[in-house]
Amino acid sequence: MFKPFIPARSKLKNFAPKILLCAQLGVLSVRNANIVFGTAEELEKNPLYELFKIARTIITKAALYKNKRGFNA
């Protein structure tokens, strides 16, 4: 059976916005939880803090990649 050829770059370009959206939602969720439930010190003890740091890193790297490649917003 014939399978269409889809370049890896095309797959990444289609999937990257979904990853970025998930990361942004994660950051917003953790920030909102921090506003409601405690201080920055308490947040660092929270297991979700690692998720927050990872999501923030993904957002930063995505913005740098987007600027480097010249993608439209």
Can you give the three-state secondary structure of the chain, one letter per residue?
Answer: CCCCCCCHHHHHHHHHHHHHHHHHHHHHHHHHHHHHHCCHHHHHHCCHHHHHHHHHHHHHHHHHHHHHHCCCC
Report the Cα 14 to chain-centroid distance in Å.
Answer: 14
Quick check: is 26 in a domain? yes
Write out pLDDT tens, residues 58-72.
Answer: 778 777 777 776 655
Quick check: is 27 in a domain? yes
* Assessment of whether the complete model's pTM goes beyond 0.75: no
Total residues found in the chain within this entry: 73
Quick check: is 56 in a domain? yes
Quick check: is 2 in a domain? no
Quick check: is 3 in a domain? no
Residue 58 confidence (pLDDT): 78
How many structural domains compose the chain?
1
Write out pLDDT tens, residues 47-58.
Answer: 767 777 777 787
Quick check: is 23 in a domain? yes
Between residues 34 and 42, the one the model is more confident about: 42
Quick check: is 8 in a domain? no
- Domain limits at 45? 14-68
Quick check: is 5 in a domain? no
